[in-house]
Amino acid sequence: MESAISVLDIGHKFENRVVLEHINLEIAKGEIFGLLGPSGAGKTTLIKLLTGQLKPVTGRAVILGRDASKLSGQDYSQIGIMMDHFGLYDRLSCYDNLKLFAKIYNIPKEKIGEALERVGLADAGKTTVMNLSKGMRSRLLFARALMRSPSILFLDEPTSGLDPLTAQELHKLILQQRKDGVAVFLTTHNMAEAEKLCDNIALLHQGRIVEQGSPVEICRRYNHQKKIRIHLQDGTDMELPHDKSITSVLENYLKKGVLETIHSTEPNLETVFMELTGGLNRL
Amino acid sequence: MNHMLAVLEKQVKDTLKNKTVFIQFIMFPVLTLIMENTVKIEGMPAHFFANLFAVMYIGMAPLTAMAAIISEEKEKNTLRVLLMSNVSPIEYLFGIGSYIWTICMAGAFIIGLGGKYYGAFLLRFLLIMAVGILISVLLGAVIGIRSKNQMAATSVTVPVMMIFSFLPMLSMFNEAIEKIAQVTYSYRLHMLMNQMENGKISAESLVVIGLNMVVAMVLFGIVYRREGLAK
């Protein structure tokens, strides 16, 4: 698949503090890629490096065939960025915030209404940004990032601090982008969100990628127990070894009609991350 | 050009809802109208309040507005978003600068009319104001670019604004202050306003104003090259 983002051995430091080391990533068009890690792991720094807001100390990143540290205005027209610290004009309405960028991007005014509708803010067009809830602000930032129909979308913790319902709405919008062939690079510390949305992920810990691949692959890779958990109708829970002997045991329970559920015992991403980082409990 | 107009339009809407900046623009024109029409003291020079408030306006409104707008955009990262949206720093600065200059000139027009300047004298008065506002816009841009946030900008803007706004007035009471004030553009602009009706325009004042303009431009150039807008 054609690559949208290539990160080639990037490293970065602030003064003498190393924040990123030997980061190598490849993100294809139409892929949702998640960069996971606790707060302070270097996720936002990597987004800033990929969007040309910072220059890497070592290595380089290539965005749609261009060096990320030399992106021009034209290149930015293909990139949508949604970062929490990317401000909105608080005293202007939602509509006027988007109108400014529609003018800058030469987008017809009609598209503003469409953009607001797409993120569920059609009724809030006249509302001043300072009166919006955090969820509504996030959706407005998302609408702004989508205005130019970008080829790449960078989302920095897009659902951080949102209620589950709003987060779910945002998830739908993100998944829609994949259908439209947009490469989505998102950072999150929410492992469940990453499992749900991402085709591939990288786990970032203390500035280094400690694991990467698809969420399913990673979970399987760390499935050391190789067991199956079953639940019987009488309430009994059992863990069975995942080997040849399991077939006869399961057949037996099935014949008796007492088997209620079968579960795999693969770890989830959170457990994998804990294992890789030595039991960090600050996710 | 399109980007500059977009920035300008945004700024117009924003100012109408930004009381802090909006008050700066209307305070001295309103004060001029009130004082020129209500206070009559025997022996008081013609256009006394208009000229006094005009230089205060020059030293205060464009300088604080420019610094406040740029520093607020830096603090809230809206400036970074604009610059990453294909708006060049020059387009942004021209958009904001031309907006502030225009709105201050509208204020200057009201001050001029309030001070009962008409015809050619009004045009001369506006010409003097135009130059002064331009220098202040440049100085405001220097402060805005240098400051990381609004608080940092305010801490520099207030003393600079006080110097340029109040020195012309304070120099009336103290010779030492007057000597210092003579090198400032606001004092010299005040002098020009007072001189323009008798036609005796001081060449020295023009030189000092020109030098102030050059200093403001050089300062702007240095700060812009060193700091840029994106940092």
Quote the pLDDT of residue A281. 47
Quote the pLDDT of residue B128. 92
With a cut of 50, say whether residue A181 has pLDDT above it: yes
Contacts of B82 in chain A (CB under 8 A): 104
CB pairs A-B closer than 8 Å: 59
Name the DSSP class of B103: H
Quote the pLDDT of residue B96. 93
Nearest to A92 among B13, B80, B88 (CB): B13
State pLDDT tens for residues A112-133.
Answer: 988 898 888 888 889 999 998 8
Q: What is the share, in percent, of chain A residues with pLDDT greater than 90?
A: 26
φ, ψ at A5 (rounded to 5°): -130, 130
Q: What is the share, in percent, of chain B residues with pLDDT greater than 70?
A: 99
With a cut of 50, say whether residue A282 has pLDDT above it: no
pLDDT range class, residue A9, cuts 50, 70, 90: very high
Mean pLDDT of A11-39: 90
Tokens representing A248 are 């006869």
State pLDDT tens for residues B13-29.
Answer: 888 888 888 888 999 99
Q: Which of B86, B149, B150, B229 to mutate to test the interface with A (most CBs of A within 10 A)?
A: B86
Contact A48, A57 (CB under 8 A): no
With a cut of 80, say whether residue A242 has pLDDT above it: no
Quote the pLDDT of residue A118. 84
With a cut of 90, say whether residue A257 has pLDDT above it: no
Mean pLDDT of A72-89: 82
pLDDT range class, residue B160, cuts 50, 70, 90: very high
State pLDDT tens for residues A147-173.
Answer: 888 899 999 888 887 788 888 888 998
Nearest to A87 among B2, B78, B85 (CB): B78
CA proximity to B66, closest of B162, B145, B152: B145
Would the pTM of this model clear 0.90, i.e. be above it?
A: no
3-state SS record for B43-60: CCCCCHHHHHHHHHHHHH
Enter the ipTM: 0.81
Quote the pLDDT of residue A64. 87
- Cα separation, A272 vs A278, in Å, equals 10
Mean pLDDT of A133-152: 88
Quote the pLDDT of residue A283. 44
CA proximity to B192, closest of B210, B219, B177: B210
Chain B interface with A: residues with Cβ < 8 Å:
2-3, 5-7, 9-10, 13-14, 17-18, 73, 76-78, 80-82, 84-88
With a cut of 50, say whether residue B115 has pLDDT above it: yes
With a cut of 80, say whether residue A73 has pLDDT above it: no
Residues B167-174: contacts with CB under 8 Å, at least 24 apart: B168/B52, B168/B55, B168/B56, B169/B52, B169/B55, B169/B56
B10–A52: do the CB atoms touch at under 8 Å?
A: no
